[in-house]
């Protein structure tokens, strides 16, 4: 099912989407006209289900080469739900369509779980929803940091980690967790540790904006102080320090690949 992961895209907010033209090829439809008929049926299903069609099937134009010239073709940015409706309206006799139905059904179910009552979620489900929020939060923080004059985002993020983790950089945290080279530390945090980091990310973003922080050095200092202040608060409350929180047995990336 990695075939569908390989054509997945993310926008600036961290939201996933698929292009219809790319999905057409993966689902082994050679003619756009035939695939467009399936898209139209999927749109009807979306409308009947009382979901916003334009939100799930966003029409986009693409310029493609045609010999010595170019032409504009119609494409769609599809939500996960739109892809689910498309494969459900496809020819289930095709093996790849059956795989798509399974894949998007699982992904849609995951999202439903993430949107349910938080306290009723399992630890894995909590990790999934919080990891998604940290991705979106870091995306927003990156934009704010760049607007504030940050030149080295890695150094900027390390400043926050150093404040929160008593001087540890992202690499230090990865080594302590015994992760492989370039394995994402946030994918290897439990829900409690993710909550602490989400709070750091969100509060730093707000601080940079509200205080109109300008300059690389001052931005890094702001991130470091925010991490340190959160650490001090945790310590005063007698709660578990971030670096002593248990690392899950499997990363979220591994778990998602095996699903």
Question: Which pLDDT score is estimated for 258?
Answer: 55
131 backbone dihedrals φ, ψ, rounded to 5°: -65, -40
* Across 196-206, average pLDDT: 93
Q: Comparing 109 with 183, which gets the higher pLDDT? A: 183
Does the predicted TM-score (pTM) go above 0.85? no
Structure confidence by residue, pLDDT tens digits, 127-143: 988 898 899 999 999 99
What is the model's pLDDT at position 95? 85
| pLDDT value of position 194 | 96
CB 244 within 8 A of CB 178: no
Asked whether residue 110 carries a pLDDT value surpassing 80, the answer given is: no
pLDDT computed for residue 114 by the predictor: 63
Residue 98: per-residue pLDDT: 80
User: Any idea of the CA torsion for 122, 14, 171, 249, to the nearest 10 degrees?
Assistant: 20
- Helix crossing, 153-164 with 123-147: angle to 10°? 130
**In the predicted model, is pLDDT for residue 15 greater than 50?**
yes
Query: Percentage of the chain with pLDDT > 70?
Result: 92
Residue 126's pLDDT is what?
Answer: 87
On the question of pLDDT at 257 being above 60, the answer is yes
Question: What mean pLDDT value characterizes the chain?
Answer: 89
Decide if pLDDT at 11 tops 90.
Answer: no
Is 90 exceeded by the pLDDT of residue 112? no
Across 122-126, 179-183, 214-218, the highest mean pLDDT is recorded for 214-218
Tell which wins on pLDDT, 236 or 113.
236
- pLDDT computed for residue 1 by the predictor: 44
3-state SS string for the chain: CHHHHCCCEECCCCCEEEEHHHHHHHCCCCCHHHHHHHHHHHHHHHHHCCCCHHHHEEEEEEEEEECCEEEEEEEEEECHHHHHHHHHCCCCCCHHHHHHHHHHHHHHHHHHHHCCCHHHCCHHHHHHHHHHHHHHHHHHHHHHHHHCCCCCHHHHHHHHHHHHCCCCCHHHHHHHCCCCCCCCCHHHCCHHHHHHHHHHHHHHHHHHHHCCCCCHHHHHHHHHHHHHHHHHHHHHCCCCCHHHCCCCCCCHHHHHHHC
HSE at residue 218, side-chain half, CA atoms within 13 A, is 11
Q: Looking at per-residue confidence, does 249 or 161 come out higher?
A: 161
Q: What is the pLDDT of residue 115?
A: 64
Considering only residues 142 and 62, tell me which one the structure prediction assigns the higher pLDDT: 142
Q: What is the pLDDT of residues 211-243, one digit of tens each?
A: 999 999 999 999 999 999 999 989 988 999 999
């Amino acid at each position: 099912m990695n075939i569908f992961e390989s054509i997945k895209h993310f926008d600036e907010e961290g939201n996933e989407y698929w292009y219809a033209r790319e999905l057409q090829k993966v689902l082994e439809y050679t003619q756009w006209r035939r695939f467009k008929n399936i898209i139209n049926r999927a749109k009807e299903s979306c409308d009947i289900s009382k979901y916003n069609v334009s939100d799930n099937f966003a029409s986009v134009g693409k310029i493609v080469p045609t010999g010595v010239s170019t032409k504009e073709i119609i494409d769609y940015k599809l939500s996960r739900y739109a892809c689910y409706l498309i494969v459900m309206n496809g020819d289930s006799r095709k093996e790849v369509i059956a795989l798509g139905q399974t894949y998007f059904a699982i992904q849609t179910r995951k999202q439903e779980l993430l949107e349910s009552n938080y306290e009723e979620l399992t630890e894995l489900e909590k990790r999934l929803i919080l990891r998604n929020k940290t991705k979106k939060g870091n995306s927003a923080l990156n934009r704010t940091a760049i607007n504030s004059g940050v030149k080295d985002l890695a150094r900027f993020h390390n400043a926050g980690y150093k404040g929160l983790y008593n001087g540890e950089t992202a690499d230090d945290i990865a080594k302590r967790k015994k992760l492989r080279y370039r394995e994402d530390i946030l994918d290897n945090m439990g829900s409690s540790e993710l909550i602490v980091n989400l709070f750091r990310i969100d509060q730093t973003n707000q601080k940079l904006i509200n205080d109109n922080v300008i300059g690389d050095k001052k931005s890094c200092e702001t991130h470091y102080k925010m991490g340190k202040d959160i650490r001090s608060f945790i310590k005063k409350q007698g709660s578990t320090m971030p670096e002593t929180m248990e690392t899950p047995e499997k990363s979220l990336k591994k778990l998602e690949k095996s699903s």
